[in-house]
Chain A
Amino acid sequence: MDLFLQFLANGLVQGMFYALSALGLTLIFGLMRVVNFAHGEFYMMGGLLGWYVTSRLGLDFFTGLVLVTLVMAAFGWLVDRLLIERVRHLGEEPGILLTIGLSIFLVNTAMLIVGTAPEKVAGPVGNAPLIFGPIVLTKLRLFAVGCCAAAIVAAHLLIRKTRLGRAMRATFQDPMAARLAGINTARVYASTFALGTTLAAISGMLLGSIYVVQVSVGGVVSLKAFVVVILGGMGSFAGAIVGGLVLGIAEAMWGGYLSTGLVDIVGFVIVILTLIFRPYGLFSTRAERA
Chain B
Amino acid sequence: MQKLGLIKAMTAAGLLISASAFAQDTIKIGLIQPLTGSVAYNGQADVAGAKQAVDERNAKGGVLGKKVELVIEDGQCKPANSVNAAEKLIQRDKVVAMVGAFCSSATAAVIPVTEKYQMPLVTGVSSEASLTQKGYKHFFRATETDALLAHTFAKIIYNNLHLKKIAYIGVNDDWGRGGVAEFSKQMGALGASNAMTEYFDHGTTDFYTLLTKLKASGADGVFVAAETQDGSILVKQIKELGLNIKVFGVGSWATSDFISLAGPAAEGIYAAVPYSATMKTPKNEAFVKTYFARNKENPGKYGAAGYNSLNIMMEAIERAKSTDAAKITSALQKTDYEGPNGHFRFMPNGQAWGFNAVLVQIRNKVPEVVMMAPIDQPQ
Contacts and interface: CB of A to CB of B under 8 A. Distances in A.
Complex A–B touching at CB under 8 A? yes
A100 to B, nearest CB: 16
A58 interface: no
A197 B153 CA distance: 49
Contacts of A210: 205
B232 A118 contact: yes
A212 B201 CA distance: 15
Contact of B37 (A10, A11, A216, A260): A216
A261 B36 contact: no
Interface in A18-77: none
Given A138-B240, A260-B199, A261-B201, A211 B233 contact: yes
Interface stretch (A87-95, A157-165, A248-256, A268-276): A248-256
B283 interface: no
B198 A3 contact: no
A261 B172 contact: yes
Interface string A154-183: 000000000000000000000000000000
Contacts, number: 93
Nearest to B241: A136
Contact of A255 (B44, B209, B216): B209
B236 interface: yes
Interface residues of A, number: 38
Interface in B271-326: none
A120 B240 CA distance: 16
B5 interface: no
A85 interface: no
B212 A7 contact: yes
A216 B40 contact: yes
Nearest to B205: A211
Interface string A111-138: 1000111101000000111010000101
Contacts of A117: 41, 257
A278 B200 CA distance: 31
Nearest to A251: B209
A129 B216 CA distance: 17
A256 B213 CA distance: 7
Given A220-B203, A255-B210, A261-B201, A129 B232 contact: no
Contacts of B198: 259-261
A10 B206 contact: yes
B216 to A, nearest CB: 5
B38 interface: yes
A129 B44 contact: no
A211 B206 CA distance: 8
Given A111-B40, A118-B228, A214-B229, A260 B242 contact: no
A108 interface: yes
Given A127-B236, A256-B213, A263 B201 contact: yes
B261 interface: yes
B239 interface: yes
A115 B228 CA distance: 15
A260 B210 contact: yes
B117 interface: no
Nearest to A119: B261
A14 B201 contact: no
A212 B232 contact: yes
Which one of A111, A116, A264 has the greatest number of beta carbons of chain B within 10 Å? A116
Nearest to A220: B203
A207 B205 contact: yes
Interface string B25-38: 00000000000111
Given A108-B36, A256-B213, A260-B210, A118 B172 contact: no
Interface string A240-252: 0000000000011
A20 to B, nearest CB: 14
A217 interface: yes
Contacts of A284: none
Contacts of B200: 260-261, 263
A66 B199 CA distance: 38
A6 interface: yes
Given A127-B236, A216-B38, A256 B261 contact: no
B149 to A, nearest CB: 22
Interface in A133-150: 136, 138
A58 B206 CA distance: 27
A21 to B, nearest CB: 11
Which A-B residue pairs are the 3 nearest by beta carbons?
Answer: A116-B41, A261-B199, A211-B205
Given A214-B41, A263-B200, A263-B204, 14 more contacts: A115-B41, A115-B44, A116-B44, A207-B205, A210-B205, A216-B37, A216-B203, A259-B199, A260-B209, A260-B213, A261-B200, A261-B201, A263-B209, A264-B201
Interface of B: 36-38, 40-41, 44, 172, 198-201, 203-206, 208-210, 212-213, 216, 228-229, 232-233, 236, 239-242, 257, 261, 263
15 contacts: A7-B212, A117-B257, A120-B261, A127-B240, A127-B263, A128-B240, A129-B239, A136-B241, A217-B203, A220-B203, A252-B208, A256-B213, A259-B199, A261-B172, A261-B199
